[in-house]
Every structure is written in structure tokens, then in C-alpha cells.
Amino acid sequence: MRFGEKEKMSHPRDQKTKAVFALVITSDSRTEKEDETGKIATELITSEGHQIAFHTILPNNIKAIQAQVRRLLEDSTIHVIITSGGTGLSVRDKTIEAVKPIFEKDMPGFGETFRRLSFEEVGGSALLSRAIAGVVRGKVIYCLPGSKNAMSLALNKLILPNIGHTLWELNRA
């Protein structure tokens, strides 16, 4: 069954079907105990009635990140993949290089809007973010900075309010 088939609403933005998320935190130093970003994401996603089916922490390694994302794309129960970390300008930041080549389509409006909203909160340092989003085989992937504030901003203002409509668009015939 395709996402959203069960529940037909009058307009896509009214879609209330719950999504299943996967979280991939990229860090060379965080442990599960120190993963504040993953904890915030889990709290926000589940408080909206969505589910977290997978959560891991990986090192900043292109092959490891790309392999994990490809495995998650094979899981038919997962609708949304969120990566956190590895989106800056440092030589260690590898998430964008790992994930962007997988995209079938980019969602440039996500990164643009995320940086605009971040600028309102943190000023010019928002320009250093390479946050992106894209789609692959009817799933949406969001690549976010590793801070808990970035995760909260993206989930509260962009991802969660629009996830039903986004997935409906991706899966309609």
C-alpha cells in the first residue's frame, strides 16, 4: 500500500497519516548517551504521533553514511530519513557528499528556508549550513546540521507541519 492511501482527505495539506522515520546521526565523538539531537528528534516526532523505526550514530565517513542510507531506502516501512551532522564546511563534514548523489530529486526550498529561519535565530553563521533535502523512491531525506537547535527548528517549522503533504505528493500517481 502506498503512503496515504488509507486516508483520503480533501486537500493534501490536510493529510494526517502518520509517518515512520529513521534517524542517522553522524558524529566522530557522540555516544548514544550524549546524543541530545537524537533525543530531541525522537521527542518531537513521537509527540506528533509519528514513529521512529531506526536510530543510529555513525562516524563521519562517506561510505558508512551512504551504505546506511541505502539500507534504509530498502526498508518499505520507512517514509522519512533524517540525518543530523556533517553538513558544515569542515573537512570532517561528509554527510552531504554521501547523501546528495543518491537523490532522484532535490528539494531546494527546504535548504533555502531552513537557512533563512536559522539566520533569524543565529545570524550570519546560518550561511555556513549546507542543509539539504531530496527524494528517493517515494521517500524524503532531510540532511540537517548536528545541533539540537537545528533539529528543533527543522522539525517544528518545516518537516512535521508538512510531512503529510510532502509524502502525499511523492506517492500520488
Residue 7 in domain: no
Which CATH number is 155's domain given? 3.40.980.10
Confirm whether 74 is domain-assigned: yes
| Mean pLDDT for the stretch of residues 29-39 | 88
Percent of the chain's residues with pLDDT above 90: 81
Domain assignment of residue 13, yes or no: no
Give residue 89's pLDDT: 94
pLDDT (tens digit per residue) in 89-100: 999 999 999 999
| Residue 171: pLDDT band with limits 50, 70, 90 | confident
CB 131 within 8 A of CB 125: no
Do residues 50 and 76 lie in contact, with contact meaning Cβ atoms separated by under 8 Å?
no
pLDDT at 30: 80
8 Å CB contact between 158 and 126: no
d(CA 173, CA 167): 12
Indicate if the pLDDT at residue 156 is higher than 80.
Answer: yes
Q: Please give the grid coordinates belonging to residue 80.
A: 522519512
Establish if 91 belongs to a structural domain: yes
Q: Which cell numbers hold the place of 95?
A: 554527510
How far apart are alpha carbons 73 and 95 in whole angstroms? Answer: 16
CB-based contact 129:145 (threshold 8 Å)? yes
Sheet of 132-136: strand order equals 51-58, 20-26, 80-84, 139-144, 132-136, 105-106
Range of the domain at 28: 18-171
Mean pLDDT of 160-169: 92
DSSP class per residue in 118-156: HHHHHGGGGGG---EEEEETTEEEEEE-SSHHHHHHIII
Q: What is the pLDDT of residues 69-127, one digit of tens each?
A: 999 999 999 999 999 999 999 999 999 999 999 999 999 999 999 999 999 999 999 99
User: Is residue 5 situated within a structural domain?
Assistant: no
Rounded Cα gap, residues 152 and 29, in angstroms: 21
Question: Which is nearest to 98 in space by CA: 42, 141, 37?
Answer: 141
- Kind of pairing between the strands at 139-144 and 132-136: antiparallel
When divided into structural domains, the chain yields a total of 1
Asked whether the predicted pLDDT for residue 1 surpasses 50, the reply is no
Predicted TM-score (pTM) of this structure: 0.91
9 part of a folded domain: no
